[in-house]
Structure 1
Amino acid sequence: MASTARPLYQQLSRNITAYPPEEAREMAFMLLDHYFGLRKADVLSDKPLPANRTEPDWFRVIERLNRQEPIQHVIGTTIFCGLEFEVSPDVLIPRPETEDLIRLIMHDFGDEMERPVSVLDIGTGSGCLAVTLARFLPQSDVTGWDVSEEALTLARRNADKLNADVNFQIQDILNVPAGGVGQFDCVVSNPPYVTRSEAAQMDRNVLDYEPDMALFVDDADPLIFYKAVADFAAKHLSDKGMCYVEINERFGDDTKAVFSERGFSQVQVYKDIHGKDRTVRASR
C-alpha cells in the first residue's frame, strides 16, 4: 500500500470502474479527505499519509462503490452547508441544490437573529434543514416532522453531534391533527416530488439505495405534498410568515399556482445552479 497520497489516489481512481473517470477521481479525493483528512492540494502535492492512520478495507470500499452504492453511504456522512451530517439508507442524501432553501431563508430571516423565529421543517429526513437552521438562526425555535421513526432517530443523532436544539416529532403532513399544532414564522419542506414515471431515467445509486417513500409520488397527483404543505401553511403561518419548498423542475408553474390559489402573495419560483426550477417561496 502506498505511503504517500498521490499513488493511493491514482490507485483508487483506477479501481473505481462503475463511474466515468472524472467522477471516479472526485470519489478518490472524497475518500482521502474522509479517511485521512487530506485535501486536494495535499493529494496533488503528494503529502505523506498520516503515520498513525487506520487503513479502511479498501477492497470492500471499492467493491461497494462499484455496486453503485452512494459514496455518502460508504463513508457514512455528507457535507451540507458546511456541516457534516450522518446519512443512511433510511433518509435521502442531502443535495447541494437543497442548500438554496437555506440561502433563501437566511436572506429573509437573517436580520431577525435577535428575536425568536419559529421554524417547521416538514419531512425532515436526516435533519439537514432543521439542524442547519437551528445553527444559523441561534434564537430560532425549530421543529422537524417526519413519518419515519428511523429517519427521526438519525436526525436526532445529527442534532446532538452538531449541538443543534431541534424538537423532532413523528407527524404526517397528509394527516395533521386539527388542533394543538401552533403558529410558525417559517415553514420549509423538501417533500417527495419525483413521479413514478421518472424512475426509468434515474441512476441505480439513487433507486437502489435511497428510500422510495422520500422520493416518489404517483403521476396521478404529483403535487399532493405541496397542496398539503400549502393548506397547512395557510392556517399555521404567522402574519408575516414565509413558506419555502423544493420542487420538481417539471412543475414550477403548477407548484406556484398551488400556493397562489390558497391566498399566498409574492409566490416566486427560483432556479438552481443548473438553470432548472428548484424552489418556491411564498409569503402570506
Structure 2
Amino acid sequence: MQLSEIKNIFHLELDSLYPKEEVDTFFYRMLEHYLGLERFVLVMEPHYSISKEEEQPFFEGISQLKLEKPLQYILGEAHFFDAIFKVNEHVLIPRPETEELVNWIIDDCQIKNDKSFKILDIGTGSGCIAVALAKALQNSKVTALDVSAEALAIAKENAQLNNVEIEFIHADILNIDSSKFPVYDIIVSNPPYVRELEKGEIQNNVKEHEPSLALFVPNDNALLFYKAIAQFSKKNLSKEGKLYLEINQYLDEETKSLFARENFKEIRLKKDIFENHRMLRCSK
C-alpha cells in the first residue's frame, strides 16, 4: 500500500476525534518511528509503497488512537529536553511546562559557574527531570526517588539511554524518614496536584491512560504532597539551597502561603509560556 493511502486512512478514521493537524502529526511521527522516514518522503516520492508487514503498526496505531491512547504510549517514547525518554502507562508523559521548570533550575545553577550540586528529584516518574539535570549539570550528583517500582524501572532505563549516572531510591515522600537522607543543594518535584474536581478539565487521553497515582489528589487535601515536601526540605535542604516545584495554577497563592507558613524564604511564583503560575521556587 502507498504511504499516501495510509495517510488518507488516518484522516478517515481519526478526524472525528482529533484536529486534522494532530492527525498529520500522528502519521508523521509513526512514519519516522517505524520506518525511519522523514515527512518530505511523500513530496519527493508521492507513490512510495510499503509492505504488508510494514503497514501493520500503522493500523494498530489507528486502533489505539481511536481508544484515545496517547501517541507516546503507542510508540513507547517521548521527547523531552532534546532527548528521547522511554514511557509506558506507569509514568506520566513529560510535558513542556516541566521543561520550563528544568530550564529555571539550570539557569540558576549556571550563574554559580562550575559549582557542583547535590540534587534530589522527588517523584521522578520517567526520570525526565533527573536525567535532564544530570546531563546539563555534569559535575552534580543527582538522586531520584519514587513510590512506584514500575516507574523507577523506566527511569533507570532512561538514565542508561541518556548515559547519565543517577542514584534511584524506592520511597514514599508521604511516609519517609528524612534522617536517612543527606542534605541537598537542590530539591525539585513535580508531584501529583490535580484535584478530583478538576477531572472534567482533563482530556480523556490523559484521564483514561496516564497513571492516576501521579496525577490526582483529594479535593479536601490538595496540597498534601507539598506539605510533605516542605517538611522534608526543612531538614534536608542546605542553608543556601533552593526548592523548585511544579504547581497547580489554580492553587498558586495557597501553595505559596503554605511555604511561607513553613518559614521558607524568597518564595517566587513563575509563569509558564501560557501565562499560568505553574512553578514555585523558594529558599530555606
Alpha-carbon displacement from aligned partner over 1:83-110 (angstroms, at most 9, x marks no partner) = 1000000111111111111111001112
Alpha-carbon displacement from aligned partner over 1:146-196 (angstroms, at most 9, x marks no partner) = 001001011111111111101111111111114120100100000000001
Alignment partner, residue 164 of structure 2: 164
Letter in structure 2 aligned against 1:15: E
Contact kept? 1:185, 1:238, Cα under 8 Å: yes
TM-score by length of 2: 0.92
Alignment partner, residue 20 of structure 1: 19
Pair 258,46 (structure 1): closer, same or farther in 2 beyond 3 Å: farther
Q: How far apart are residue 279 of structure 1 and its match?
A: 0.6
Measure the CA separation in 1 of the matches of 2:51 and 2:19: 33
Alignment partner, residue 55 of structure 1: 54
Please show how residues 128-143 of structure 1 align to structure 2 within 5 Å. 128-143=128-143
Measure the CA separation in 2 of the matches of 1:26 and 1:187: 36
Contact kept? 2:143, 2:169, Cα under 8 Å: yes
Count of paired positions = 282
TM-score by length of 1: 0.92
Query: Does 1:181 find its partner at 2:205?
Result: no
Alignment partner, residue 122 of structure 1: 122
Measure the CA separation in 2 of the matches of 1:136 and 1:49: 41
Letter in structure 1 aligned against 2:14: I
Alignment partner, residue 191 of structure 1: 191
Measure the CA separation in 1 of the matches of 2:47 and 2:131: 36
Measure the CA separation in 2 of the matches of 1:212 and 1:22: 28
Instruction: State the secondary structure of the residue aligned to 1:179.
Output: helix
Instruction: State the secondary structure of the residue aligned to 1:55.
Output: helix
Unaligned runs of 5+ in 1: none
Measure the CA separation in 2 of the matches of 1:110 and 1:48: 50
Alignment partner, residue 207 of structure 2: 207
Instruction: State the secondary structure of the residue aligned to 1:156.
Output: helix
Letter in structure 1 aligned against 2:22: E
Query: Does 1:280 find its partner at 2:280?
Result: yes
Alignment partner, residue 239 of structure 2: 239
Please show how residues 143-158 of structure 1 align to structure 2 within 5 Å. 143-158=143-158
Letter in structure 2 aligned against 1:196: E
Deviates more, 1:217-226 or 1:233-242: 233-242
Q: How far apart are residue 54 of structure 1 and its match?
A: 6.9
Instruction: State the secondary structure of the residue aligned to 1:273.
Output: coil
Unaligned runs of 5+ in 2: none
Alignment partner, residue 2 of structure 1: 2
Measure the CA separation in 2 of the matches of 1:268 and 1:241: 14
Query: Does 1:217 find its partner at 2:217?
Result: yes
Measure the CA separation in 2 of the matches of 1:50 and 1:107: 47
Contact kept? 2:178, 2:235, Cα under 8 Å: no
Query: Does 1:262 find its partner at 2:267?
Result: no
